[in-house]
Amino acid sequence: MKILILFIVPVYLLSCSLDSLSGKIEELDEEKVKKEYCKKRDWDYSKMKNDVCVVIDSEFKHFASIGTFASDRGCMGEECYFGGNYGSLSELTPKALEHYGWGDKSKRKELARKWTTEIVYVWESALTSKPSRGFSESEYFDPQVSEKDGSIHVKLWIREPAGMLNQSDYRLAEVIYSSKGEISSIKNLRNKTVFPEDE
């Protein structure tokens, strides 16, 4: 009887451990995340719900980007949520990318491109087509992805949120991912401002 009990207990504990882990990485609901975030911050949800921004991308349904609204800029990122944990984008990206298939080297370039355009720059606009004015054909390019010594590099143009000035602000950026799916660096390579009279 003792042998039987010792056999059953470890199997039960292992089962509980696996169930609890898989239960944390689940498809998220924006309203539920917003309520939980207000609770975490000790905010009155009924008063703050319109000032909290939550974005869950259709391709990354288990990951939430959370921010707060600023009248002169729009939503500004504060934290992210994945697998039952709040944290910064850098902290949660490796685990999230692992969940979405980073271990398959053939998927890394496309995964890095989507993660960059939809998650890293969720509060800005990653350009995937040339703006109607201000850019020459030789200057603009769609997001470019390359691999160098095991790292994945994503270079792209970003449009910053509209501010109070009558102008459009852009920047050329590069995001580098390590072979482990970590964000090694985010670089701003160039800034560009386009005014209404610019062609």
Share the mean pLDDT of the chain. 86
DSSP 167: S
Tell me the average pLDDT across 58-62: 97
Supply the pLDDT for residue 15: 29
Contact indicator for 99, 62 with CB cutoff of 8 Å: yes
- Predicted local confidence at residue 142, as pLDDT: 96
**pLDDT, tens digit (0-9, with 9 covering 90-100), for 113-166:** 999 999 999 999 999 999 988 899 999 999 999 999 999 999 999 998 876 677
pLDDT band of residue 32 (cuts 50, 70, 90) is: very high
pLDDT at 13 over 70: no
Instruction: Identify the bridge partners of residue 157 per DSSP, sorted by sequence position.
Output: 172
Q: How far apart are the first and last CA of the chain?
A: 85
Burial of 160 (0-12, 13-18, 19+ CB in 10 A): middle
**Distance of alpha carbon 39 from alpha carbon 34, whole angstroms:** 9
Task: Report residue 121 CA to chain centroid gap.
Answer: 7
In this prediction the pTM is 0.84
